[in-house]
Structure 1
Amino acid sequence: MSFLGNIVWFVLGGFISFLSWSIIGVLWCITIVGIPVGVQCFKFAKMSAAPFGKDIQYSDSGMSLLINIVWLFLGGLVMAVEEVIMGIIFCITIIGIPFGLQHFKHAKLALMPFGARIIRI
């Protein structure tokens, strides 16, 4: 069932999330200092291409908090707003609610991507 959900997800807007994470990852990788941030963005781009059957686990590390604050001002806020808007659009219809919930999950991830890891459920 998650395979079918991932296909429908990608066709109906998941590619926008995938593309956004990928573009921000490329922009971060332009600088040498930003390569670790860019690599993290590419991991989440892969997750946003096929989110069903995966979940996000957050850690409580203090170091990730500092990087998350920097990230918030240099790309995270824009990503979160994009995901919330797409989530609201999908939740307008009953059929789109599962897809909207995935966008809300990605919005939280866009606010706090560092210290987060993807796990299969």
Structure 2
Amino acid sequence: MKTILNVLWLVLCGLWMAIGYAVAGIICCLLIITIPFGIASFRMADYALWPFGRTVIRRPEADAASTVGNIIWIVVAGIWLAIGHLATGAALCITIIGIPLGIASFKMIPISLVPLGAQIVSTSDPRVAY
């Protein structure tokens, strides 16, 4: 089932959201100081392409630097990517078939806002339970 949902997601919105994340990643990699933002953006682009069967967990070793980085990310790119997920999710929820995809888009809003200190793992990973 998750393969079918992933293929539908890829065709309907995953490719476009991944392109948005990749563009943000390329822009962030232009300066040395923003390379961690670029790497996080590329990780999220991968997640945006094929999200079903994976989830986001917070890393326990995330510190104050990731918090400061997340605040900068929200201002620079996070708000725009979150708006993209919100608009995509609303458009997908118009049809009955698109409702699970729209809900998945809404679930991606938090990671698009605060990507630093987060890790994308398989849903079968034992850390998901915690």
**What band does the TM-score fall into relative to the shorter chain?**
over 0.9
C-alpha deviations, 1:17-52, integer Å up to 9, x for none?
Answer: 110000000000011111111011101100100000
The SS at the match of 2:33 is coil
AA matched with 1:97: I
| Pairs within 5 Å for 1:40-55 | 40-55=40-55
What residue number does 1:62 align with?
64
Root mean square deviation, CA, Å = 1.2
What residue number does 1:105 align with?
107
| Pairs within 5 Å for 1:1-121 | 1-59=1-59, 61-121=63-123
Instruction: Please report how far the alpha carbon of residue 111 of structure 1 lies from its aligned counterpart in structure 2 after TM superposition.
Output: 1.0
Instruction: Please report how far the alpha carbon of residue 103 of structure 1 lies from its aligned counterpart in structure 2 after TM superposition.
Output: 0.8
AA matched with 2:47: M
How many aligned residue pairs are there? 121
The SS at the match of 1:51 is coil
Distance in 2 (CA, whole Å) between partners of 1:73 and 1:9 is 27
AA matched with 1:114: L
Instruction: Single out whichever of 24-33 and 103-112 deviates more from structure 2.
Output: 103-112
AA matched with 2:87: I
| Unaligned runs of at least 5 residues, structure 2 | 124-130
Distance in 2 (CA, whole Å) between partners of 1:34 and 1:112 is 15
Runs of 4+ that moved beyond 4 A = none
AA matched with 1:92: I
Distance in 1 (CA, whole Å) between partners of 2:29 and 2:103 is 29
Distance in 2 (CA, whole Å) between partners of 1:46 and 1:61 is 24
Distance in 1 (CA, whole Å) between partners of 2:97 and 2:4 is 14
